[in-house]
Amino acid sequence: MMLIDRIGIVLAGLLSFFLSALPAKAETLTIATGDWPPYISPQLKHYGVTARIVREAFETAGDEVVFQFFPWKRTILMSEQGLVDGSFAWSHKPEREAHHLYSNAIGEYGYVFFHLKSKPFEWQKLKDLRGLTIGGTNSYNYGAEFVTAAERGEFKIEWVHSDELNWRKLLAGRIDIFPSDVEAGYAQLRDIFPSEKANKITHNPHPLKPLTTMHMLFSKLKPESPERLKRFNRGLKQLKDSGKYTQYLKESREGLYRLVSEEVLEEGL
């Protein structure tokens, strides 16, 4: 073999190596989702805190996204069939895992106990709730262990027909703690009370029952999905490492993603 041929082979090999090492080309991705305030909604700034996290994780990895809103059943069906590039925010279920690749967690939801800032509250086990009066909303599933402990008289539950009534009782000191989803709880407080009253309430991060994680899903039918998943997870990690992830959750809980009427007009909503 002539020397020039050998050089050509080596150069071709090096070119192939460097091309394979380059990051995948950035894309504009169509992402399907539904309406689930305060996590996701076209009626919120940034389309809600979870939508902002998803968008910026993609952008951090170099991709742009276009959100499309559908009813949830249609969203998952379109995702399964590969008619969109991804969808969110979904928990783990076998029927979903059969058709999708799951991202790392983009958030979590579930019950925590809210209380007045003026009445510090710590707990780890149900026995720590003894002597407390707890607000409960009829028809909500707080978990069998919690309900059984209440039936044994380990603590007192006052059941009412609405979350709003429980928030008002908590603010008035008529109950000690109230279980609610952490993000939904802060959103309800902002809807019911002015800031000076809502800011009197906080939550203990220890969950009443294990929190459920939420994820981006990528269809297994799309050959590009594995690489897109890698890029998204990389961007999500960078977002968390930078502190922006925590900052966005804090902003949402402070009511900063709520649109007032003038902003709704500007957004065209």
pLDDT of residue 26: 77
Distance CA 116, CA 174 (A): 11
Distance CA 99, CA 8 (A): 44
* Joined tokens for residue 12: 């071709």
Report helix, strand or coil for 268: coil
Distance CA 211, CA 219 (A): 25
Q: Among candidates 237, 236, 181, which has minimal Cα distance to 212?
A: 181
What domains are defined for the chain?
A: 26-108+212-267 (3.40.190.10), 111-207 (3.40.190.10)
CB 201 within 8 A of CB 108: no
pLDDT digits (tens, 9 = 90+) for 113-170: 999 999 999 999 999 999 999 999 998 999 999 989 988 888 999 999 999 999 999 9
**Cα atoms in the Cβ-side hemisphere of radius 13 Å centred on 186:** 22
Q: Which residues lie closer than 8 Å to 181 by C-beta, 6 or more apart?
A: 109, 110, 111, 112
Distance CA 24, CA 61 (A): 10
Say if residue 3's pLDDT is above 50: no
pLDDT of residue 44: 95
Distance CA 214, CA 27 (A): 23
* Chain mean position to CA 20: 34
Report helix, strand or coil for 178: strand
pLDDT of residue 5: 54
Which helix (H) or strand (E) segment holds residue 257: the answer is none
Average pLDDT over residues 3-8: 51
**Helical H runs in the chain?**
3-21, 49-60, 72-80, 94-97, 144-151, 163-172, 182-192, 195-198, 225-242, 244-253, 261-267
pLDDT digits (tens, 9 = 90+) for 161-204: 999 999 999 999 999 999 999 999 999 999 999 999 999 999 99
Say if residue 227's pLDDT is above 50: yes
Q: What angle do CA 116, 121, 123 make, to 5 degrees?
A: 145
CB 85 within 8 A of CB 229: no
Identity of the amino acid at 8? G
**Helical H runs in 109-268?**
144-151, 163-172, 182-192, 195-198, 225-242, 244-253, 261-267
